[in-house]
């Protein structure tokens, strides 16, 4: 079983842009978004993905992601419930080989900007960069599936 352990924060300034080593364009939507399971379809640049995630237990949840043809992902986005989220993701290196992912949301979610860092264990120390503000890891209003459902 795949596991995802991540922490999520508000972003306080745009200094992450100068620190980024890569920028990705993402479109994603949710085929289902239940309390216990979500099924997401995503196009990241020119690749398609289908992802299944289980409910959060603290900062941990099950996650399985599979690459699918981008044409299939485009078709599946039209079947998604709620809004399709569009965002730019900035990849910012962190200590110990980790990376911050800073998402600038577009459309009616702008000017929301959130930073996430995926960590190997819940007790991993993470040095917070200057652009990181209040932690929202446990606030379900800032789960992407919840943002999509607010359409």
Which residues span the domain enclosing 37? Answer: 3-149
- What letter would DSSP give residue 128? P
Active-site amino acid positions: 30
- What's the structural domain count of the chain? 1
- Give the model's pLDDT for residue 57: 80
pTM, rounded to two decimals: 0.92
Q: What is the CATH number of the domain that holds 83?
A: 2.40.320.10
Q: pLDDT of 59-100, one tens digit each?
A: 888 999 999 999 999 999 999 988 999 999 999 999 989 999
- Give the model's pLDDT for residue 56: 79
Q: pLDDT of 9-62, one tens digit each?
A: 999 999 999 999 999 999 999 999 887 899 999 999 999 999 999 987 878 889
Quick check: 151 pLDDT over 80? no
* Residue 61 CB coordination number (10 Å): 17
**Mean pLDDT throughout 129-148?**
94
Long-range contacts of 119-124 (CB under 8 A, 24+ apart): 119/5, 119/6, 119/7, 119/59, 120/5, 121/5, 122/5, 122/58, 122/59, 122/60, 124/5, 124/96
């Amino acid at each position: 079983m795949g596991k995802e352990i991540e922490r999520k924060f508000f972003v306080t300034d745009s200094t992450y842009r100068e620190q980024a080593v890569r920028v990705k364009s993402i479109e994603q939507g949710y085929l289902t978004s239940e309390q216990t399971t979500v099924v997401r379809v995503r196009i990241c640049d020119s690749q398609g993905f289908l992802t299944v995630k289980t409910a959060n237990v603290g900062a941990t949840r099950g996650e399985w992601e599979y690459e699918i043809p981008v044409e299939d992902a485009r078709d599946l986005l039209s079947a998604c419930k709620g809004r399709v989220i569009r965002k730019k993701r900035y990849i910012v290196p962190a200590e110990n080989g980790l990376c911050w992912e800073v998402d600038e949301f577009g459309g009616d979610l702008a000017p929301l900007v959130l930073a996430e860092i995926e960590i190997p264990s819940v007790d991993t120390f993470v040095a917070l960069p200057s652009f990181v503000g209040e932690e929202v890891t446990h606030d379900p209003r800032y789960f992407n599936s919840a943002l999509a459902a607010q359409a």
